Amino acid sequence: MRKLALMVAVIFGVALLGSVAFAGGVIKIGALYNLTGGMSSIDAPALNGAKLAAKQVNAKGGVLGKKVEIVAIDTKTNQKEAAVAARKLISEGVVACIGYGDTTYVLAAAPLFQKAKIPFVTSGATHPGLPKMVGDYMFLTPFGDNVQAYAMAEFLIKDLGLKKAWVFTNKAMDFTLALSKFFKERFKKLGGKIVLEDFYVTSDKDFSAQIARLKNLKEKPDVLFVSATPDNAGVIVKQIREAGIWTVIASGDGFDTPVIIEVPGPKLADKIYYTTHQSWDNPAPEVQNFIKAYEKTYGRKPENAFAALGYDAAMLVIRAIERAGSTDPKKIKEALEHEKGYRGVTGAISFTSKNHVPVKDVAIMEVVKGKVKFVKMVKPSM
């Protein structure tokens, strides 16, 4: 017992040393990410991207003559931690906050920033309704799910001439439901036909019943739109191909994961198209410079597009501070609303006071025999 007390005392002591006030003369930007737990594969690269942005800006002398500091808190894939950490950042006096690759956690944290009138720029949450749900201090770095779904629908019909779709939707996730909804809307508007919509849930492992229904369709579809996240994406592709169906498969950024090749294997991972935020094969200098800088700092290529989104989110905030000429959160928010065409790693980003969800270029990717190829950047009509 005494040893235990001693140990607790030591931990307290070290903690006090650790919390000794931060040095003055810095601009603090908060960063809320799930660095441990289920979301860490998405959120940890995003924080690395954001830190890289701060490092580059500081190397050039910072902003407004001050250094930028990213104050990051790990919220452990837990909404309670998100709600507490948001308050902690606000009490530490951050001028703006970035964070999260998932709407669930944004909704636990962002309303607190809204209440404190501090801008919150999510790096990866794609729900287009977020600013409506949270308020006018909420901004998105990525495109909304409507944009990527529209882009895929237009690409399939206009570029590939595919007009009959089978839609397969995970009905247990908001992201997948929204993606299918927007896809169907645009696909039908452009003269496409949905021959059947079928459903599954995240925990499903066997899709043979739905695939059998697909096989027995009188009117054969020429494209299979699979609305899925990495949990299911690979398995669904594998089971469809194993059933001898070689129709084109299309999806959103939930397919931007090595899993869709690893699980089915390079032979079966073929004739797949998906949309995502950026391709590392894009020759644009913003993209290639980012990859080089990331590799130099972290010793590896960016893990996924969320690294680039984290970088862009931090850059949007830093640029806004510079334009505002002030660290007043209210002025930063106003400056964010005047962002015009920042050439980010994930495409050009603009905000207005009415629109806090950027309409960006969408990267179309193709998987050919286990190899991912960049097709092109497209901008859907809104």
Partner 1 sequence: MKKVVIIAVIALLAFTYIAENYLSDYHLSVLEFLGIYAILTVSLDITNGYTGLFSLGHPAFMAIGAYTSAILTFPAMRKSIMIPALPEFLAHLELPFWLALIIGGILASLSAIVVGYPVLRLKGHYLSVATIGFLIIVQVLITNLEDLTRGPLGLNGIPPYTNLWWVVAWLLITVYVVWRVVNSDFGRVLKAIREDEIAAEVMGVPLARYKLFAFSLGAFFAGVAGGLWAHLVTAITPTTFSLPLAFNLVVMLVVGGRGSITGAITGAVLIGVLSEILRPIEMKTQAYGLTQLITAVLLIIILIRKPDGIFGYRELRLKISERRG
For residue 63, give the DSSP letter: B
Angle at 123 between CA 118 and CA 226, to 5 degrees: 140
For residue 226, give the DSSP letter: E
Beta pairing, strands 342-344 & 223-227: unpaired
Q: Pick from 310, 346, 222, 211: which is nearest to 273 by CA? A: 222
Query: Hey, which residues does 276 pair with through a beta bridge?
Result: 363
Nearer CB in complex with partner 1: 197/222: 197
Give the residue carrying structure tokens 């065409």.
341
Q: What is the DSSP string of 356-367?
A: -S----EEEEEE
Task: List CB contacts of 182: < 8 A, sequence separation 6 or more.
Answer: 145, 146, 149, 150
Report the distance separating Cα 228 and Cα 243, nearest Å: 19
State yes or no: residue 52 binds partner 1 (CB under 8 A): no
State yes or no: residue 88 binds partner 1 (CB under 8 A): yes
State yes or no: residue 9 binds partner 1 (CB under 8 A): no
Q: Which stretch binds partner 1 (CB under 8 A): 156-164, 166-174, 189-197, 227-235?
A: 166-174
Q: Pick from 56, 188, 42: which is nearest to 104 by CA? A: 42
Q: Which stretch binds partner 1 (CB under 8 A): 53-61, 152-160, 171-179, 304-312?
A: 171-179
- Which one among 32, 52, 68, 90 touches partner 1, defined by CB under 8 A? 90
Longest dimension (CA), the chain: 76
- Which one among 41, 55, 66, 104 touches partner 1, defined by CB under 8 A? 104
State yes or no: residue 194 binds partner 1 (CB under 8 A): no
Nearer CB in complex with partner 1: 103/247: 103
State yes or no: residue 369 binds partner 1 (CB under 8 A): no
State yes or no: residue 174 binds partner 1 (CB under 8 A): yes
Residue 313: CA atoms inside 13 Å, Cβ hemisphere, count?
40
- Which one among 36, 41, 58, 350 touches partner 1, defined by CB under 8 A? 36
Structure tokens at 171: 């009905």
State yes or no: residue 58 binds partner 1 (CB under 8 A): no
State yes or no: residue 177 binds partner 1 (CB under 8 A): yes
- Which one among 108, 156, 272, 362 touches partner 1, defined by CB under 8 A? 108
Residue 74: CA atoms inside 13 Å, Cβ hemisphere, count?
10
Q: In angstroms, what is the minimal distance from the CB of 87 to partner 1?
A: 4
Nearer CB in complex with partner 1: 98/156: 98
Burial group, residue 105, by CB count within 10 angstroms (0-12, 13-18, 19+): buried
**Residues 111-140 vs partner 1: string with x where CB under 8 A?**
x---------------x-----x-------
State yes or no: residue 14 binds partner 1 (CB under 8 A): yes
Which positions touch partner 1 (CB under 8 A)? 1, 3-4, 7, 11-12, 14-15, 18-19, 35-36, 71-74, 76, 78-80, 82-85, 87-88, 90-91, 103-104, 107-108, 111, 127, 133, 171-174, 177, 201
